[in-house]
């Protein structure tokens, strides 16, 4: 269903550009190739965006499943497993690509702050080291940590470029 709206979205997002090839087709007496090229490039760009969105969603689901599986397999008390799960999932948010200090990590979200409010940084470091041993977290050597979401990429097929070839038009 979303693919059915790709051209309409493209025309709306590039409204000023839309009128240019449309006007050219009208003034040229029917030379529609520039408009078709513009439309198809928008369609390809829209498909690429849709594919990237789906891929990102699949990566997120795979990451969450990996986190749950590794923490479940590692064992531990239910409260500890839940706390560590919340920790790694907060660290792996879409906008969290940069390594974080322990102080930054403990305040990533209100829920995470509540989980660590009565604990010392030692507990947080212990949880981070446990997650590191499960390869869910990587440390950069300067006391900063980040989620190791790249581990999921090892399970993905290689991506092929979706470049749109320039059509050849026969004059004749």
Domains of the chain: 2-54 (no CATH), 76-154 (1.10.10.10)
CB 78 within 8 A of CB 122: no
Instruction: Give the least confident one: 17-26, 32-41, 129-138, 153-162.
Output: 153-162
Sign, CA torsion 119/120/123/129: positive
How confident is the prediction for the chain on average, in pLDDT?
A: 87
**Has residue 79 got a pLDDT over 50?**
yes
Q: Is the CA virtual torsion 102, 108, 110, 112 positive or negative? A: negative
pTM for the model stands at 0.74
pLDDT tens-digit readout, 17-29: 999 998 998 899 8
Q: Residue 74: is its pLDDT beyond 80?
A: yes
Look at residue 49 and tell me whether its pLDDT is greater than 50. Answer: yes
Tokens 């038009």 sit on residue = 169
């Amino acid at each position: 269903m979303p693919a059915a709206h790709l051209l309409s979205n493209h025309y709306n997002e590039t409204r000023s550009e839309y009128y240019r090839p449309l006007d050219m087709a009208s003034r040229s007496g029917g030379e529609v190739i520039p408009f078709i090229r513009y439309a198809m490039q928008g369609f390809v760009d829209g498909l690429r965006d849709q594919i990237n969105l789906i891929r990102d969603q699949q990566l997120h689901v795979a990451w969450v499943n990996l986190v749950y599986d590794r923490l479940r397999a590692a064992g531990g008390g239910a409260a500890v497993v839940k706390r560590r799960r919340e920790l790694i999932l907060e660290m792996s948010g879409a906008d969290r690509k940069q390594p974080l200090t322990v102080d930054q990590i403990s305040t990533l979200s209100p829920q995470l702050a509540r989980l660590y409010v009565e604990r010392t940084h030692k507990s947080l470091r212990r949880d981070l080291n446990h997650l590191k041993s499960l390869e869910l977290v990587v440390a950069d050597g300067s006391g900063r940590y980040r989620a190791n979401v790249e581990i999921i990429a090892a399970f993905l097929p290689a991506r092929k470029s979706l470049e749109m070839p320039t059509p050849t038009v026969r004059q004749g």
